[in-house]
Structure formats: C-alpha cells, structure tokens
Amino acid sequence: MPYKPLNTQRHQIRLLHLLSGLPLDPIQCVFSPAPKSLDEEIKYEALSYIDTLCINQSDVKERNSQVALMGKIYSRAACVVVFLGESWDGCAGALDAIRKLGADPGVHLTGPKEPCLNISEGGSGSFCHVTRGETALPSWVPDWSNRRLDFDMSASVMTMMLSQRQYRASGDRKAEVGVSPQSKLRVKGSMFDIISECAKRRPLGDPAIDEHAEEICRITGYDKAPEKPYCRKNQTLETALGLAMSGGMVMQDGRWLRADEAVDAPTLKEARETRCTKIKAQGDSVGSAEDISTHMQDIGVPHALTWRLRRFVKTKTGHFGYAAEECREGDVVVVFSGGKLAYVLRPVINKQDMGHGMGWTFIGDAYMQGIMNGEVFEMANKAGVKESAFVIV
C-alpha cells in the first residue's frame, strides 16, 4: 500500500490500523499519518519491530527522522508490546518473576536508568552511550541530570540488543572488575589501538549523507584503492568499509542478521559496479564517495543506528569503524574481558588521585571492523601480551 508523506518538521508519525475480521481471516491493515504531532497527546500502542512497516524505508529523510524519534515513540505509547521470541521450558516462571518485580516499588530506581558500562562474568551484554556535561561523577557513571539522555535511550537499547546477539569482542573471556572506595573502576582488558582521525559529528536526523560519504572516502582512501587488503585481513577495504557502515548487520524481513549470514544483502562493491556500468567504465575502477552514499541508502536503518551518537574513526593501524561521538584523536580503543563491544578510553594523569600513575576516562562504546569477534585477545595471546588493568576514574 502507498505511503502518505509525513510532516517530519512537526514530529509526525505513521500509525498502522488493524481491520476487524474473524479469527481465521487474513490480517488486513491500513496506514495513516497521526492526526497530531508526537509532541501532543496521541493515543496509540507500540509493537516491537512494527516500525519496519510504519516507516517508508525508501525515503531516506523520513527514515532518518523517524529513527531519531524512537525513544519518544516508545516512551509515549499507551502500551508497548514486545516479542521476546519463542517460548521455552521455564519461561512462565521467568515472566511471573518479572511481573512480581514490576509490582514491587521497592526495587525500582527513580526515573529511567540504564548501565553506561555493562560487562559480566559470563560475557553477556555490553553497551553504553554516554552524553556528559560538567559533572563530578566518575566518567563511567552516566549523568542522569543531562536531559539529552532522553534522546540517547533508543540508541542505547538498540546497541544493547545488537551486542547481545551479534558481537563478542572479548570472545569467551570472563570479566574481572572491581570498584574502589573512591569510585575508581578497575577492569581487566587489552588495549587495541589509538584513534588517529575522526570524522565530523553528525547531528541527529542529519540527512546530509553525501558530505559524510565524502569524508569517509577521504579518511579510508576508498577512492584510491577500494580492492586493496584491509589491515592484513582476508577482506578488501571495500568489503570492510561496507560492513562497518552497518555495524556488520543487515535487516531482512524485520529481523536483524549478520551481514555475512544474510541473503542478497546490499554491498558497497555492488554500488560501485552499478555506478561504473552507468558511466560505462571499463575494467577495475577506483571508488567514489557516490558509492558510499548509495550504500548508506541501500542498507537503511542499520546505518542510521550505527552512526547515531557516534562518529566515523580510523586508528593508527588503519582499522576503522564508529565510536562514541565524544571521542577524539589520541583516545585509545580497548576490549574489556567479559564485554561484547569495544570501548574508547582517554588517558589522564591526576597526581592527587592516582599517585602519579596513569588513569583513564571512559568515553563510550565502539564498533571497529575486524575486532568484534575475539580477535584482539587472539592477537595478544599470539604475541605473548598479557591483559592489562585499566583504572577508570
């Protein structure tokens, strides 16, 4: 069914209406733009993954603006229905425990809370998005007085969900974490590399992908040799860059899949070959920012979620990816034991607190192409390098 355009300036969303019918009738539905702005009172229910249908995926401007509104869309719904997967033995007991906890006011924190750094002994969830102002809090503790965290929520939750299923940057390592009485966090991990170049920050809902594509093209050298090896790995620069722009994932039929597991997923190479065919270029051709821009539009939502609140970065060894937008040149990329993502730290020397030693400021998370499946610890083991203890202040 055709989509009627939305007024993105006034935060309008599209609603799906289920039509009545008998129990065995096929499901029928229609779309309509909401009669009011999302900033006004609208009565609707939210269903997880329904945004895949309610957003016109072929309209880049609409898609970017709607992704930026996800936090508001879900938080202002009268009811949110979430699909947790197929049932399993014991799930009834788990759901009963959740209901009991939800009904107990004594176990709730005030206001929306989420961890800024989450690593575990079992190597489970690991995610963070931190936006900080002037605060006396340790860097690894989120500043909940900062209202911009309202906009960070959907990106944080999405990062958590994707990291739970797809990433295992520390492999099977278990976490070694401790907190001192002075609120210093001591975490075991391995340093990977130093950030040498950062792209400009992109504002939320930024539709200017051509400018971003040109910057990525320059930073990576894609326009000079797209088929050269990427960091001595069994990938070309072109393949690695295409994967990095979507966080290594694609969305097909409403489901998140690893890009290497998906069928007929769009690739950066296809975008280049299509451009070359149009201009009748012969033989191997150099890359172009136009290829990158086209690929961003082809992959859609995965790219929008990968760059949201992050910026494109490159390290000294030539690795690239997306890191927390607060990062800058000279910051280091690390992998913590028990974590599923990479993280960015900033060295700091505080003679009063650290006793003339090195401490670190926690900046945020990162997706770095080529190190999200335990490779950092594998390289460290081969080189005989032991894990380090990072003291985060």
In order along its 393 residues, the chain shows pLDDT tens digits of: 688 899 888 889 999 998 988 888 888 999 999 999 888 888 999 988 788 889 998 888 888 888 888 888 888 899 988 877 788 777 887 777 777 766 766 555 444 333 345 554 333 333 344 444 555 678 887 665 554 554 454 454 445 445 555 788 888 888 888 878 777 888 999 999 999 999 988 766 566 778 889 999 999 999 998 999 998 778 899 999 998 988 887 777 766 777 767 777 788 888 888 888 887 665 556 788 899 988 888 877 667 667 777 899 999 999 999 998 889 999 999 999 988 889 999 998 654 444 444 799 998 889 999 999 899 999 888 888 888 999 998
The radius of gyration computed from the CA coordinates of the chain, to the nearest angstrom, equals 22
Are 70 and 154 in contact by the 8 Å Cβ rule? The answer is: yes
Among positive and negative, which fits the CA dihedral 371, 376, 377, 383?
positive
Written as six digits, the tokens of 282 are: 């012969």
Calpha distance 197→208 (Å, rounded): 20
Calpha distance 331→392 (Å, rounded): 14
- C-alpha neighbours within 13 Å on the C-beta side of residue 375: 14
Give the model's pLDDT for residue 368: 93
- DSSP annotation of 6 reads P
Q: Residue type for 334, please?
A: V
Give the model's pLDDT for residue 111: 42
Written as six digits, the tokens of 14 are: 């599209």
Phi and psi at residue 161, to the nearest 5°: -60, -45
Q: Nearest-CA neighbor of 42 among 84, 12, 8?
A: 12
Calpha distance 321→292 (Å, rounded): 14
